Copies of this chain bind each other. A is one copy, B any other.
Amino acid sequence: MTETRKLRMGMVGGGPGAFIGPVHKIAAELDGRIELVAGAFSQSAERSRAAGISFGIDPSRAYADYGEMLAAERARKDGIDFVVIATPNHMHLPVAKAALEAGFAVVSDKPATATYAEVLELEAAVAKAGLPYALTHTYAGYALVREARAVCASGALGPIRKVAVEYMQGWLSGALENTGQKQAAWRSDPALNGPGGCIGDIGTHAFHLLEYVTGLEVKGMNAALRTVVKGRRLDDDCNAMLRLKNGATGVLMASQVAAGERNDVRLRVYGEKGSLDWRQEDPNRLRVKWLDGPEEIRHAGGNYLSEGARAVTRLPGGHPEGYIEAFAVLYREFADGWLAWRRGEPDPLPATLPGIVAGVRGMRFIERAIESSRQEKWVEF
């Protein structure tokens, strides 16, 4: 018999002031496969309850504490199937471990944990639990990122020689953390965020996108992290040079003080025969360029796109899909993976869905970047 009921999701964090909480709910529910039914949205019982009401869930399932949620939901017949973690970074490990130990699959915001040591602990916990674990590297959910991945995998570009990935934001150009803005506040506090500021918050996205699309691992890095805004306690700008396992080299640039930028993620991959170029602020187009031929713009919805790209496209060409839809692709794949896990399939999670491996890579990246920058030299991965 097919499992046709929706998966039930419990959220930790994501309450008032968190932009990402509502996005998780909308994205998770978008394809009709998942529903938010419980949450520990805030450490304040009152605020958690208010969030629960605003999310439209049964108020009795809005908990003040994630431990309480895990216990209570475990005891329900209609309890949650998995936990989504939308807290500041320092809570990622404890919540994920507790959820896994309670038998719940996990979807987690990135970076996977606050520190590299923590992620190794998490990796062990995931392995031990044998439960699905997914990491929301949202950009991996865009159809054209899937197309880029397919182009690389096809070998059409020839051997990859050079990559350039960047993630430019400007919202932390001033000391926003001193104004009470919650998003800025915890991200600037090493205790809540971990040691990597910009490098952890968005550098990891850039790093993941690079490895995800090219299928190549970074093996060496020379990074320069910097705190531009006076008084800020973590890095807010990063430049790095990269060496990839296949001999390719590259550049990674991330900044949260690039005044005038919004959320400009861009990946370029250069091979011997051609190259590709994708930008998140124009997500439904992928540029593919050739040594001597017209530049191509591949558009979402085209029948000529790879199977992988078409599989995650909901609308006909020319009807833009955006960030929420990309996010929803990850949730849809997680639902597929969860069902496969439930059926007892080996390796149940789709290969296209970022998981604990990506989580470990990301934390290693942060750790190596900090070390390289501290030593002002190349480091190995």
Contacts of A53 in B (CB 8 A): 4
Whole-angstrom CA separation of A271 from B169 in the bound complex: 13
Interface residue? A259 (CB, 8 A)? yes
| Contact assessment for B239 and A250 in the assembled complex, using a CB-CB cutoff below 8 Å | yes
Say which residue of B32, B56, B170, B275 sits within 8 Å of A291 (CB atoms): B170
Whole-angstrom CA separation of A157 from B19 in the bound complex: 29
CB of A15, distance to nearest CB on chain B (Å):
15
CB of A238, distance to nearest CB on chain B (Å):
9
Most buried by B among A158, A249, A284: A249
Q: Select from chain B the residue with minimum beta-carbon distance to A296.
A: B294
| Contact assessment for A259 and B241 in the assembled complex, using a CB-CB cutoff below 8 Å | no
Beyond A56-B32, A241-B224, A249-B239, whether A294 also contacts B289 by CB under 8 A is: no
Interface residue? A297 (CB, 8 A)? yes
| Contact assessment for B297 and A297 in the assembled complex, using a CB-CB cutoff below 8 Å | yes
Per-position contact with B for A54-73: 1 when CB-CB < 8 Å, else 0?
A: 01100000000000000000
| Contact assessment for B288 and A294 in the assembled complex, using a CB-CB cutoff below 8 Å | yes
Q: Select from chain B the residue with minimum beta-carbon distance to A23.
A: B315
Whole-angstrom CA separation of A253 from B240 in the bound complex: 11
Beyond A29-B29, A259-B272, A319-B263, whether A294 also contacts B304 by CB under 8 A is: yes
Whole-angstrom CA separation of A261 from B299 in the bound complex: 10
Contacts of A56 in B (CB 8 A): 4, 6, 32
Most buried by B among A170, A226, A240: A170
A window 98-157: CB within 8 A of B: 157
Q: Select from chain B the residue with minimum beta-carbon distance to A378.
A: B376
| Contact assessment for B4 and A317 in the assembled complex, using a CB-CB cutoff below 8 Å | no
Interface residue? A260 (CB, 8 A)? yes
Size range of the chain A interface in the assembly: 35 or more
Whole-angstrom CA separation of A321 from B4 in the bound complex: 29
Interface residue? A255 (CB, 8 A)? yes
Oligomer: number of copies = 4
Say which residue of B19, B226, B255, B275 sits within 8 Å of A261 (CB atoms): B275
Interface residue? A290 (CB, 8 A)? yes
Contacts of A260 in B (CB 8 A): 270, 274-275, 288-291, 295
Contacts of A31 in B (CB 8 A): 26
Interface residue? A161 (CB, 8 A)? yes
CB of A163, distance to nearest CB on chain B (Å):
10
Beyond A222-B224, A321-B323, A324-B315, whether A261 also contacts B239 by CB under 8 A is: no
Whole-angstrom CA separation of A280 from B171 in the bound complex: 26
Q: A170-B291, A260-B275 are in contact. List 13 more A-B contacts (CB 8 A).
A: A22-B314, A30-B30, A164-B253, A171-B316, A222-B241, A237-B249, A239-B251, A259-B271, A262-B319, A280-B318, A282-B320, A319-B323, A321-B322
A-B contact pairs, 25 of them (CB 8 A): A4-B56, A23-B315, A26-B30, A30-B30, A170-B270, A170-B291, A222-B241, A237-B249, A251-B253, A259-B273, A259-B291, A260-B289, A260-B290, A260-B291, A261-B318, A262-B299, A280-B318, A280-B320, A282-B282, A288-B294, A294-B296, A295-B298, A295-B299, A319-B322, A321-B323
Residues in chain A within 8 A of chain B (CB atoms): 4, 6, 19, 22-23, 25-26, 29-32, 53, 55-56, 157-158, 161-162, 164, 166, 169-171, 173-174, 222, 224, 226, 228, 237, 239-241, 249-251, 253, 255, 257-264, 270-275, 280-284, 288-299, 301-304, 314-325, 376-378
Ranked nearest first, the 9 interchain pairs of A and B with the lowest CB-CB distance are: A260-B289, A263-B318, A262-B318, A320-B322, A262-B317, A294-B296, A322-B322, A260-B275, A319-B323
